[in-house]
Amino acid sequence: MVVDTETNGQAGDSCEMTEVGAVLVGGGELHERWSSLCRTSMPLKRGIQRFTGISQAMVDAAPSLEDVLPSLRRRLENRIMVAHNAPFDRRVLRQAFARIGLEWPDPPVICTAALARAMLPLQNKRGLGVLADALGIEVHLAHRALADAETCARVLCALFPRLCANAVTVEEALPHEVQGTSEVAKTITESGLETADRLVQTWYDLLRKVIGSTAKWLSSGNAAQPHAK
């Protein structure tokens, strides 16, 4: 499940989510799409309204976190969460869940920026729009949750065949922090993999390592605090 969040642009405890979008990806294709604006407790500054296109009137008329987050939680259950600059979105979401006393489902997390660092080592700039352009993905709208989630989903789908094409030797090309990862955030369900070919099995092995690398990053204290992307 690819997820993106937009916020009020504030840092720390003052950060509030203004919009969340999610796209279900399977078989290299985008499927179910879902998004919602979110009501905030504090007024939005004009700068963030211009940046995202989300106005004060839009969040004033939006549903509360209590109405939005249970639906997102159901979508994340038993799935991998994918996001671009995933530590940001994970922190924003965990903070939002904690704010209303709802248990965070704590899904395994994949960061497409980290995945691009592994698969496209010569691509120095890894912002979502720049990365999409480098992969030949057209972007018609940015800084809205569903639009960015769809772009992130297409980036994930574009990186998948590149990983498969290099599956026999890609492990040697992975960054050191991915190569040396022995702990993983969660175990990916392996039912049905007995009949999978070597290519698919290698993908799952590497996916575990990327999840583990992201988990180490999330727990290291180096991940950015919630703020505007």
Question: Of 173, 177, 150, nearest to 163 (Cα)?
Answer: 173
Tokens 């070597």, located at residue = 198
Residues 6+ apart with CB under 8 A from 91: 223, 224, 225, 226
User: What is the model's pTM?
Assistant: 0.74
Strands 109-111 and 81-83: parallel
pLDDT in tens, 7-43: 999 999 999 999 999 999 988 889 999 999 999 999 9
Phi-psi region of 30 (alpha: psi -120 to 50; beta: other; left: phi over 0): beta
pLDDT in tens, 161-192: 776 655 444 444 343 433 333 333 333 223 23
- Domains, the chain, in order of start with CATH, read 2-219 (3.30.420.10)
Tokens 């994949």, located at residue = 110
* Whether pLDDT at 198 is above 80: no
